[in-house]
Amino acid sequence: MWTIDNITTFGTLIQPFISHINFQKVSSIDFITKIKPFKSIFDDKFYNKIVEDHCLNTDLTSPQIVKYLDSQIINLRDASVICNWIKAMKKQKWEVTYDFDLLVRGSRDGFDKNIFHKYCDKKKPTITIVRVKNSNEILGGFNPCNWKSVAGFGEFISTEESFIFSLDKNNLENSIFSKVIDTEHAILTSRKRGPFFGHGNSDFELLYRDKLGQCSKNGYEKAIRQSNEYFEVDDYEVFKVIYR
């Protein structure tokens, strides 16, 4: 059993080497058993950075986070990466597992905004996934709050937990995780719009004129597309995220 003095001494000894550790390569089991118990040796800002880096871990030997997935766009490994990001933003325990409950699929249910709101309103939290037509791009966003059919322009939702992303299915380590920066304008919800993250021209928007979408960096940390031109949606899915 380690004492407080033991941990403090260990922290002093290891400090010069911490910057050389690639926490992205640490498996979930090792993170839980070998790093998390020594959280106190890191300052809060650096520990949060470690958690973010670890969330990009795609080690197939890690425990399966998502038990079942009905998706035509992503697989279980992709979903596990997304769930690691959710854990980081919500500061959840690493032992948490998830179910993804499919609410709507464009190719099955249609691409109309009214259909999106019919199946997805008041179903928080949700993950939106889109496959861009004629490309390998997979984009998405996490909304911890409820989608609502607000009249007119709609209303902005404030949250510190939303994020958007792009997945590189050929090399998940090249995926882009972009957390919300302008927390007061994290989500825009309106019956006239589909999923909308950010403000202005939107950091990530779907169902603009049916099957069109757009990404233009405004209120989130990173751009998730190189182009801010409109793109055509090949298919999209929205899941309710259930914590276990």
Q: Tens-of-pLDDT digits for all 244 residues of the chain?
A: 788 888 888 888 888 887 777 776 676 556 656 777 788 888 777 777 776 666 655 554 455 678 789 999 999 888 988 988 888 787 766 667 889 999 999 999 999 999 999 999 999 999 999 999 998 899 999 999 999 999 988 899 999 999 999 998 777 777 899 999 999 999 999 999 999 999 888 889 988 777 899 999 999 999 999 888 999 999 999 999 998 8
In the numeric block, which tokens belong to residue 138?
């997979």
Predicted TM-score (pTM) above 0.75: yes
